[in-house]
């Protein structure tokens, strides 16, 4: 138990369902998810008191913590061993203050791991945090025992303990790593890093200079992060939307680039809840290269004002060609606001603009051929996304609708770009709000959801985000251990096919995925909004 714990008054209702740090953090998530199935019943008879705050706030002391360092890139050779430690640092979120954060090898975001496709690397992981944790290698098709899901694939790594992860990298592309215990707290506090897997590179091709961009938002209140609860996630309704937007851990960073330079951006959304939409005003040219782990069959030329969307867990690969002079801005642009996230100052001697290397696209095109036929089959399963707000703050009151963000004046939005009604959201916990992933055919929900797919098959999975749910909201759905192509959205074939592992399903919409069931085991499927995962929105599927 960390020191300096501020225990607030416990109401009877909260005390009854309160799971103390020892219980909640040391138990695996999977049994916790099972417990959640029965919790809303208790919540019905004991509604939460809006005036009461968190049960136990987490330790925020920064005494003696080393300052976080910026991200380094490490190249890991085949058969090498890499030491990775999760620990505490102090961090300046762009305000000049120092706050307590978590870091991998002292870096926020964690080191970028670069490997050659087909290699195998051993990661000797040490947990120097005062909490249980695990490592999840998002998007990598590795052995299920290395997938980092507590209670499903491994036991948690306790404070002071180590675990050896044997990684393999069968696919070229962009992946990432993060904890799979209390992501609402651990990922928010800085635990995330990128993995870049290089495919074969022909010497005849000019590879653009690559730059990684990790998008994250921190919710700051009174100079520190808004309180977390030791026992369970808060902000379970919409997730934790931050008010401080960071790129690679920095506010408004300025990068240098040469006139005419083609820069390849590898972008990750490591936020708990925020979906971003952005453009590149000032760019001479923009080519969209790929998504998640995959490359498109050909690069997609876009304009400097094309809006790209990225949701938690997703990656985008975008080439931006610099103009002769001036600036290129990474500009956030949603119906709610326009804001600069980062900027490239164009300077120095002009360079000849290169063309995108075509090798990865040729390989993707060959690889995606067999997907087209499979995409025409009917779905093998339909998963519905829903929510049960029976016990949510304000439920049953005349203002319940407003508190859930559904005023008559404001119809459900396909994407909530910002938090709606922060007060109700701030109070909501997994005990009040149960997000649901449901098998449409069997009715099985969350921890009870499991379907077995044939190893080696290409199957279609339909995911419907129910428009008539109590709070329709976008959900980035992530399948562990396999890869898929988004075949269609609302019945319209997807023109931009590439291998993915996370898909945004907007409120009231549906997607069809063609999934390659190539990696045996029982794997997790869940919403990548950290608080929705904590509020139950996770099931499993088996490939055998």
List contacts with ligand C2O (CB under 6 A).
136, 138, 178, 180, 313, 478, 480, 524, 526, 528
Q: How far is the CB of 52 from Cu ion (least distance, A)?
A: 25
DSSP 457-476: EEEEEEEEE-TTSSS---EE
Closest distance of CB 527 from Cu ion, Å: 3
Kindly tell me which of 141 and 526 has the beta carbon lying closer to Cu ion. 526
Q: Please, are residues 461 and 48 in contact by the beta-carbon 8 Å criterion?
A: no
State the Cα–Cα distance between residues 505 and 415, nearest whole angstrom.
9
Give the one entry of ligand C2O, Cu ion, none that residue 313 binds, where binding means its C-beta sits below a cut-off of 5 to 8 angstroms depending on kind: ligand C2O
- In this structure, the strands spanning 99-104 and 56-57 are unpaired
Pick one of Cu ion, ligand C2O, none as the site partner of residue 526 (Cβ within 5 to 8 A by kind): ligand C2O
Using CA atoms, how far apart are residues 480 and 520, in angstroms rounded to an integer? 11
Q: Is 527 in the site for Cu ion (CB under 5 A)?
A: yes
Decide: is 475 part of the binding site for Cu ion (CB under 5 A). yes
Of all residues in the shown chain, the one whose CB is closest to ligand C2O is 138
Q: Which is nearer to ligand C2O, 178 or 497 (CB)?
A: 178
Q: Which is nearer to ligand C2O, 136 or 497 (CB)?
A: 136
263 or 268: whose CB is closer to ligand C2O? 268
Task: Please report which helix (H) or strand (E) contains residue 21, including its range.
Answer: helix 21-26
Least separation in angstroms between residue 529's CB and ligand C2O is 11
**Which of residues 249 and 313 has its CB atom nearest to ligand C2O in the complex?**
313
Nearer to Cu ion, 192 or 505 (CB): 505
CB of 240 to Cu ion, least distance (A): 12
Say how many residues touch Cu ion, by CB under 5 A: 4
Q: Whose Cβ is closer to ligand C2O: residue 240's or residue 480's?
A: 480
Q: Rounded CA gap, 230 and 59, in Å?
A: 9
Closest CA to 271 of 193, 218, 228: 218
Partner touching 434 among Cu ion, ligand C2O, none, CB below 5 to 8 Å by kind: none
> How near is the Cβ of 176 to ligand C2O at its closest, in Å?
7
How many of the other CB atoms lie within 10 Å of CB of 172? 24
Closest to ligand C2O by CB, 471 or 528: 528
For Cu ion, which stretch binds (CB under 5 A), given 61-69, 137-145, 225-233, 470-478? 470-478
Tell the smallest beta-carbon distance from residue 242 to Cu ion (Å): 17
Q: Choose among ligand C2O, Cu ion, none what residue 475 binds, the Cβ cut-off being 5 to 8 Å by kind.
A: Cu ion
- The number of residues in the chain equals 544
Other C-beta atoms lying within 10 Å of the C-beta of residue 41: 10
CA distance 430 to 33: 10
Q: Residues 528, 531, 532, 533: is their CA dihedral positive or negative?
A: positive
Closer of 18 and 148 to ligand C2O (Cβ): 148
Q: How far is the CB of 532 from ligand C2O (least distance, A)?
A: 12
Q: Does 529 engage in binding with Cu ion (CB under 5 A)?
A: yes
Least Å from the CB of residue 463 to ligand C2O: 16
Burial class of residue 425 (count of CB atoms within 10 Å of its CB; 0-12, 13-18, 19+):
buried
Determine the interface stretch with Cu ion among 329-337, 367-375, 394-402, 526-534 (rule: CB under 5 A).
526-534
Question: What does the H/E/C string look like for 152-198?
Answer: CCECCECCCCEEEEEEECCCCEEEEEECCCCHHHHCCCCCCEEEEEE
DSSP reduced 3-state for 442: coil
Binding to Cu ion by residue 532, rule CB under 5 A? yes
Cβ neighbour number for residue 406 with a 10 Å cutoff: 17
Instruction: State both tokens at 167.
Output: 């990684």
Q: Segment contacting Cu ion (CB under 5 A): 108-116, 374-382, 413-421, 531-539? A: 531-539
Local structure of 401: helix, strand or coil: helix
Smallest distance, ligand C2O to C-beta of residue 313, A: 5
User: Which residues are paired to 385 by β-bridges?
Assistant: 437, 465
Compute CA distances 253 → 215, 216, 316, 330, 415, whole Å: 12, 13, 19, 10, 27
- Which partner, Cu ion, ligand C2O, none, binds residue 478 by CB below 5 to 8 Å per kind? ligand C2O
Binding region for Cu ion (CB under 5 A): 475, 527, 529, 532
């Amino acid at each position: 138990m960390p020191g300096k714990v501020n225990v607030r008054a416990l109401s009877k209702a909260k005390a009854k369902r309160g799971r103390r740090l020892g219980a909640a953090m040391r138990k695996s998530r999977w049994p916790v998810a099972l417990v959640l199935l029965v919790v809303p019943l208790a919540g019905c008879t004991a509604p939460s008191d809006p005036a009461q705050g968190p049960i136990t706030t987490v330790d925020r002391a920064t005494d003696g913590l080393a300052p976080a360092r910026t991200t380094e890139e490490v190249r890991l050779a085949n058969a090498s061993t890499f030491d990775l430690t999760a620990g505490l640092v102090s961090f300046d979120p762009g305000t000049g203050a120092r706050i307590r954060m978590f870091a991998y090898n002292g870096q926020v975001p964690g080191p970028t791991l670069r490997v050659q496709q087909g290699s195998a690397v051993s990661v000797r992981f040490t947990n120097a945090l005062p909490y249980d944790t695990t490592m999840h290698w998002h998007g990598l098709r590795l052995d299920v025992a290395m997938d980092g899901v507590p209670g499903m694939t491994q036991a948690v790594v306790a404070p002071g303990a180590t675990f050896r992860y044997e990684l393999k990298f069968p696919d070229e592309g962009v992946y990432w790593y993060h904890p799979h215990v209390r992501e609402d707290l651990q990922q928010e506090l800085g635990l995330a890093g990128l993995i870049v897997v290089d495919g074969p590179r022909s010497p005849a091709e000019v590879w653009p200079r690559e730059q990684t961009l990790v998008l994250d938002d921190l919710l700051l209140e009174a100079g520190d992060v808004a309180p977390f609860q030791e026992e369970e996630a808060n902000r379970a309704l919409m997730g934790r939307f931050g008010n401080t937007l960071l790129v690679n851990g920095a506010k408004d960073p300025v990068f240098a680039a040469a006139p005419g330079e083609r820069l390849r951006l590898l972008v990750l959304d490591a936020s708990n809840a925020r979906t971003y939409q952005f453009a590149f005003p000032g760019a001479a040219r923009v080519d969209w290269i790929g998504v998640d782990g995959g490359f498109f069959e050909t690069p997609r030329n876009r304009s400097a004002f094309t809006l790209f969307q990225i949701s938690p867990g997703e990656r985008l690969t975008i080439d931006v060609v610099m103009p002769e002079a001036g600036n290129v801005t990474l500009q956030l642009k949603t119906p709610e606001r326009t804001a600069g996230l980062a900027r490239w100052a164009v300077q120095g001697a002009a360079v000849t603009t290169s063309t995108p290397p075509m090798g990865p696209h040729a390989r993707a095109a060959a690889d995606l051929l067999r997907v087209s036929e499979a995409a025409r089959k009917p779905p093998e399963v339909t998963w519905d996304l829903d929510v049960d707000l029976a016990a949510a703050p304000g439920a049953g009151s005349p203002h319940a609708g407003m508190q859930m963000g559904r005023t008559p004046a404001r119809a459900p939005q396909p994407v909530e770009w910002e938090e709606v009604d922060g007060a109700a959201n701030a109070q909501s916990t997994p005990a009040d709000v149960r997000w649901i992933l449901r098998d449409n055919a069997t009715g099985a929900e969350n921890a009870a959801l499991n379907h077995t797919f044939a190893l080696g098959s290409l199957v279609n999975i339909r995911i419907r985000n129910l428009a008539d749910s109590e709070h329709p909201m976008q959900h980035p759905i992530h399948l562990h251990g396999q890869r898929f192509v988004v075949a269609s959205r609302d019945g319209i074939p997807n023109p931009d096919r590439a291998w993915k592992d996370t898909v945004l399903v907007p409120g009231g919409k549906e997607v069809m995925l063609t999934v390659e069931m190539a990696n045996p085991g029982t794997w997790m499927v869940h919403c990548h909004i950290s608080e929705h995962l904590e509020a139950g929105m996770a099931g499993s599927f088996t490939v055998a």
